[in-house]
Amino acid sequence: MGFENVIAFIFLYYLRRQLKTKEIPERWRQPINYGLIIVVSLAILAGSGLVNDLLLKFLSILLISYIVYNIFTHPEFSGTKSLVYAALPLIAVSLIRDIFELAMPEFFKTWDKVFDVASFFAFIWLVAMYITYRKQKKALLAEKIKALEREKEFQITQTLKAKLEVDVAERTAELVKQKEELEKALEELKSAQAQLIQSEKMASLGELTAGIAHEIQNPLNFVNNFSEVSQELIDEMHQELESGDLEEVKAIALDIKQNLEKIHHHGSRADNIVKGMLLHSRSSLGEKTPTDINMLADEYLRLSYHGLRAKDKSFNADFKTDFETNLPKINIVPQDIGRVMLNLINNAFYAVNDQRKKAENSDFKPSVTVNTSMNEKENKIIIKIADNGPGIPKQMKDKIFQPFFTTKPTGQGTGLGLSLSYDIVKAHGGELKVESPAKEGKGLPTLSNGQAGTVFIVTLPI
Amino acid sequence: MKFLVVDDEKDVELLFQQKLRKEIRNGSIELKFAFSGNEALEIMEKSESEEVMYIFSDINMPGMTGLELLDKLKAKFPQIPVSMISAYGDAENYEKAIELGAKEFFVKPINFENLKVELNKIIEDKEPKKE
């Protein structure tokens, strides 16, 4: 039996397969092909019985030995080694059996069965080894595929990473560009805001002019009247001197002195108003000066009232002041806080006057109150500007401090007044709040006819 | 002769007293002052209405304006002449005042010469009755 040929064929067949999968270098193709031809030729010759059996056996053994030798000595065949180990017992048994068969036929005949059993076990060994080998090979292959996949994944991640880096760079550049654009826009907005503030100032100055005219006209009238009357008094005094009524002369002198005080008083009143007007229109940053809040509030209350009155003949409202008399002077920018007061007072007058027009013929008495007080514990001065108007609807209350929010008809309000006021008070470290409906309290207008009323509360630190 | 002057500017009192110093001294006129429309009405209601012969009122006053006061005075005391004094000598105010029954319309700053002429007219009108 020529197991050697079968095994040699299997080996060569395997090696050829490995050639295809490139596990073995190409230079082995020819030797393997030749080997296959030789094996097949040997098998055919053995089957035909034409050639000497002994010679064929010898050639077969030589061939298998040569193949086994090569597999063991060349590292590129390491994958086939385990197959050789599997077949080795069978080859050995086959060899020994052949040797015995040739050299001692008598002995071989008696032990024939033993060789058969040995061959059988060697064959079982081969099959078992082969199965294990296949399994290992499969596992190895799976491992290899996995490794390949991992490699592929790694490659993909690398490309993704590179792409991502490019994307990030692009995005960063875009963001930087956007940031620059935004900064530019912000600059533009800032300058636009400055312009708006200035025009709001000028607009409120325009609102003021009528009030200012009245407020200057009144003291000027007194100045003129009192100086005129003083002249007359001096003439009278001369007459009394002539007639010698010294008591009357003294009385007249006192009157003249009083008149001069009045002239001075009304002169300074006009002076203050002009100064206030100049301060109001000034666009440069105002300086903080110790200011009497009551005086400031009174001044702007009158300016507002007379301004509105001069503009709209039908306008009328009562106004009251309720001042805490011993307030300390506080460090503020007077024209800025003045603007806040003017705004709040104008709004209050606007609200009550509007209500008066709507509720014509009813006994609604429009009234605006300015109240000052002090919170000694917290070192704060509180200014309340209250009206008995219709109040602010809940849904508008959140919006009134937003720039450009206005309830006035187009062209009558910039919508910047309260927003600017809010900023000014905040810049002074204070607070501007609104209460509507107003809670009734000391110094606030009495609410009647279902009027909700509104109170704006300015709190300033001392 | 009693006159009532209504103006929210308190110094008006001093001015009138000095301008009409002689008249006050010789007792030909007596001045009363009110600083708001409400105060004027209170004075008029308290005092015997005949006492006050003539009322001068400012127009531009907070609360009740001079024109509103004029309207109310004319309703309650139609026999008492009322003249208006205003810093705003515009046609609108003038016409409204005359329409409501104002006797005269004086523009601020007050020309006391004209005012005195008006006062003397009233005094002369009344004096023949006394005689």
pLDDT along chain A (462 residues), means of 10: 76 84 82 88 81 79 86 81 80 81 80 83 84 85 93 94 94 94 92 78 70 79 90 91 90 92 90 72 70 90 84 82 90 87 90 82 82 90 90 83 73 74 89 82 63 87 88
Question: In the structure, what pLDDT confidence band is assigned to residue B130 with cuts at 50, 70 and 90?
Answer: very low
Domain of residue A87 covers: 3-157
Write down the pLDDT at residue B72.
92
Q: Mean pLDDT in chain B?
A: 85
Domain of residue B51 covers: 2-130
Read off the pLDDT of residues B92-106 as tens digits, 9 standing for 90 and up. 888 889 999 999 898
Write down the pLDDT at residue A281.
62
Q: Which residue has the higher pLDDT, A246 or B128?
A: A246
Other residues' Cβ atoms within 10 Å of the Cβ of residue A445:
24
Residue B50 has pLDDT above 80, yes or no: no
Read off the pLDDT of residues B61-72 as tens digits, 9 standing for 90 and up. 877 889 999 999
Shortest distance, CA A229 to any CA of chain B (angstroms): 6
- Answer whether B13's CB lies under 8 Å from A224's CB: no
Shortest distance, CA B63 to any CA of chain A (angstroms): 4
- Calculate mean pLDDT across residues B2-30: 88
- Of A450, A428, A251, A441, whose CA–CA distance to A355 is shortest? A450
Q: Which chain B residues are Cβ-neighbours of A311 within 8 angstroms? A: none
Residue B46 has pLDDT above 50, yes or no: yes
Residue B49 has pLDDT above 70, yes or no: no
Question: Is residue A203 one of the residues assigned to a domain?
Answer: no
Total number of domains in chain B: 1
Write down the pLDDT at residue B74.
92
Write down the pLDDT at residue B131.
40
Q: Mean pLDDT in chain A?
A: 84
Q: Do B21 and A236 touch (CB under 8 A)?
A: yes
Q: Point out the residue among B15, B62, B64 whose CB comes nearest to the CB of A226.
A: B15
- Of A359, A220, A411, A382, whose CA–CA distance to A297 is shortest? A382
Task: From A136, A157, A178, give the residue that closes a domain.
Answer: A157
CATH code (residue A385): 3.30.565.10
CATH code (residue B41): 3.40.50.2300
Dihedral of the alpha carbons of A65, A66, A71, A73, in degrees to the nearest 10:
110
Cα–Cα dist A119/A97, whole Å: 9
Q: Do A225 and B19 touch (CB under 8 A)?
A: yes
β pairing state of B52-58 and B82-86: parallel
Total number of domains in chain A: 2
Question: Is residue A196 one of the residues assigned to a domain?
Answer: no
Interface test with A, best of B18, B26, B70 (most A CBs within 10 A): B18
Write down the pLDDT at residue A436.
81
ipTM, two decimals, is 0.82
Q: Which chain B residues are Cβ-neighbours of A221 within 8 angstroms? A: 87, 108-110
Task: From A102, A123, A157, give the residue that closes a domain.
Answer: A157
Q: Which chain B residues are Cβ-neighbours of A232 within 8 angstroms? A: 19
Q: Point out the residue among A255, A310, A316 whose CB comes nearest to the CB of B65.
A: A316
Q: Do A217 and B108 touch (CB under 8 A)?
A: yes
Question: Is residue A204 one of the residues assigned to a domain?
Answer: no
Interface test with A, best of B11, B17, B64 (most A CBs within 10 A): B11
Question: Is residue A252 one of the residues assigned to a domain?
Answer: no
> What is the share, in percent, of chain B residues with pLDDT greater than 90?
28
